[in-house]
Each structure stands twice: as C-alpha cells, then as structure tokens.
Amino acid sequence: MLQAAKLECRRGDRLLFSGLDFTIDAGTLLHVRGRNGSGKTTLLRTLCGLFTQEAGEVYWKGESIRTLAEDYRSDLLYFGHLNGIKGDLTGVENLRLAATLDGDRVGIDAVWSALGRIGLAGFEDLPTRMLSQGQKKRVALARLILSRAPLWILDEPFTALDMDAVNLLQGLIADHVAAGGLAVLTTHQEVPLTAGQARHLDLGA
C-alpha cells in the first residue's frame, strides 16, 4: 500500500539516506529506528509530503502521493513533534476542529468520550495551555480515537506520556493495525508493541 522507491533525502549539504526502498501493506506496523539525527523525522515528513525528497518517490496504493495530493492526505494522519493544538482553545474545541479538518464528521458526544477515554475527564473544558506537557500530548493523541484514516504516521508518540497513557496508546495502535490499518512510527522507548510483530527499518546503519 505504502511504498518508498529509491528515496533520497538531504538536509542542506548533508545526505541523510539514499536508495531507501520499502513497501508496507495493510495491517503492518513499521518501526523506524536510528540514532539522533539519522533522518527519522525527515523520512516521516517525506512520507507525509511535507518535505520534498532529493530523489525517488513515495507511492500510496500504487500512485505517487504528489499526484494523489488531497486524496492521499484524506487517508493520512500525521502526529509530529509539535502537538498541533492551540493553547487558547479547550480540549473539546481543539479536537472538534482537528476532526473537522481531517474530514471526519464527529458529534460533540464523540469528542467528549474520546477525551474521557484518553484520560482527560474533567479537563475537557480548560484551555489547553493550562494543562501539563503530557496532558497536552493526550489531547493531541485523542485524534487517533476519532480518526478513520488508514495510514498513521507517528513521530515519537510515546514521549512525555506516563505508563497508563503509553499502554493506552499501544492499544490504540495495535487495534488500528489489527483492523487492517498501517502505522509508521519512531520511538526510542522500548515498548512491547514494537518488540512484537512489527517490521523494522534501520536508518543510518
């Protein structure tokens, strides 16, 4: 489904990786590994189409993501280093907006229950700038509960989360993959999820 062909990325003069080939099919979890600065985030951003590669191409269902453009983006959920939530808006407002932008028609009840499930019951109505780092991350991750996108690209989703949240998130990703979804993630934390049936891709090796 998602295929990278002879992918080469540079940051300035520095070559991060070249000739990178891989294909992942429905129901696969790909764990991208590598040292700091080996180009994991750049690879993930390239897969999203946020970063333009030097050479090579990314294909989704056999077509280049450049030609698919909006059709590809509707199948994609990206979770980056930045949470992508507004500090002046409440958790509910942030999540509703994110869902609308993702093209998901979700009711207000679904938003409240998603925030409850991610462990933010009682904090739904507070401006997110008043929340802790981990709680902000939880607000952002609540999108995963509402999302129907088949491809999840998650950059370091486990940082700043406590054990409960890490377990919850692992469950979400495992369910998504079991239901035939695709997930690409990076993490430096050893979690059972990535030790299991996940495929691995080593950068800078």
List contacts with other proteins (CB under 8 A): 48-52, 70-71, 73-74, 76, 78, 80-89, 93, 97-98, 100-103, 127
Q: Tokens 């998901």 appear where?
A: 104
- Shortest distance, position 196 Cβ to other proteins, whole Å: 28
- Whole-angstrom CA distances from 159 to 1, 162, 186 are 28, 9, 11
- What does residue 201 show for φ and ψ, rounded to 5 degrees? -130, 120
Phi, psi for residue 122 in degrees, rounded to 5 = 95, -15
Beta strand extents in 80-173 (DSSP E only): 151-155
With beta carbons less than 8 A apart as the criterion, state whether 102 and 70 touch: no
If the CB atoms of residues 26 and 101 are measured against other proteins, the closer one turns out to be 101
DSSP code, position 46: H
Distances (CA, A) of 205 to 38, 126, 138, 154, 196: 9, 45, 32, 21, 21
CB of 192 to other proteins, least distance (A): 28
Q: 22 or 51, CB closer to other proteins? A: 51
Q: Which tokens go with 90? A: 């409440």
Q: Which two tokens stand for residue 141?
A: 């991750």
CB of residue 165 vs other proteins: minimum separation in angstroms?
19
Shortest distance in whole angstroms from residue 190 CB to other proteins: 26
Q: How far is the CB of 138 from other proteins (least distance, A)?
A: 15
Cβ-based nearer residue to other proteins, 101 or 121: 101
- Sheet order of strands, 14-24 included: 14-24, 2-11, 55-60, 63-64
| Residue placing its CB nearer to other proteins in the complex, 3 or 83 | 83
CB of 66 to other proteins, least distance (A): 12
Identify which of residues 53 and 194 has a Cβ nearer to other proteins in the complex. Answer: 53
Of the two residues 3 and 53, which places its CB atom closer to other proteins in the complex?
Answer: 53
